[in-house]
Each structure stands twice: as C-alpha cells, then as structure tokens.
Amino acid sequence: MAKKIDFAVVDYGDHLDLESIKKLVNEHRSFHVVNVDARHGTQSNAVDILEKIIECAGMKCRVRTNNRGWLGWGGVAAAPFTFGISILAPAFIVGHNMATINPDYEIVKNVCNNGVTVEYMK
C-alpha cells in the first residue's frame, strides 16, 4: 500500500510567509507553494529561501526541477549537434543525487505550473 502524503498549501502571493514555512518544516510536513512565477527569478528566490530555512533547521535538502531529465534527452533528439552536451546532463543529475544522498527534504521546482513542491522524505 502506498504511503499517503498530506500536503499543506502555501500561497506565495507577494512574498513567502516565513513563519508558516518554518512551522511546516519544524513539524516535518510536506507542502506545495503555489502562485510562484517561474519568470523573473521569483521561483529561484523562493527555492533559495526554502533551502535556507530547511538547512537552518538542521536538515539536508535536495533541489531539482521537475521533468528536467526528459528535457535533456529531448535536446538530444531536437538538436543532434548538442549530443555531447545533452548526453552529460543525466550524469550531472546522478552526481547531484549522490552528493545530496538521503535528504530530509526534496524541493522540486515545477516550472510548468508556477509552483514549488517541498516533500519531507523521511
């Protein structure tokens, strides 16, 4: 039977509610941050803040972009001259996963739906 995860939802709005995020992290909760515009660096800034909050709580985290692996392989098919670069992308992803082995949290940037998923892994 699959483990059911109860995700809280945090609306980004004009800024992150840092106290709500800290409370969720300290309670080891998983959550979605919605309405985070992927353009203009807003999503990256939000991820940086989330990463700092998790690390300040004494936990480790892994940051990744949803479907990035498929995008790398799509580049191989779309532009064969970039094959050398695109073939290395999966190796970098595996290396990153090994460097952040056994994280407490995984932060996933969802570029297509302007959100960030923060999942407690333990």
Both tokens of residue 109? 């940037």
Higher-confidence position of 61 and 84: 61
In a domain, 56, yes or no: yes
Beta strands of the chain (E only): which ranges? 7-11, 30-34, 61-65, 105-110, 115-120
Residue in the structure block whose two tokens are 């992803």: 93
How many domains, in total, are found in the chain? 1
* Residues 11/4, Cβ–Cβ less than 8 Å: no
The pLDDT of residue 1? 47
User: Would 1 be classed as within a structural domain?
Assistant: no
What are 25-43's pLDDT values in tens digits? Answer: 999 999 999 988 777 778 8
Is the pTM here over 0.75, yes or no? no
Query: 54-79: per-residue pLDDT in tens?
Result: 999 999 999 988 876 555 555 545 55
Specify the pLDDT at position 62. 92
18 inside domain: yes
Judge whether residue 86 has pLDDT over 80. no
In DSSP terms, 106 is beta-bridged to 62, 119
Instruction: Give the range of the structural domain holding residue 37, as residue numbers without chain letter.
Output: 8-120
Helices 42-56 and 18-26: angle between axes, nearest 10 degrees: 50
The type of residue at 10 is V
The share of the chain scoring above pLDDT 90, in percent, equals 39
Residue 2 included in any domain: no
Residue 3 within a domain: no
Identify the band that residue 106 occupies on the pLDDT scale cut at 50, 70 and 90. Answer: very high
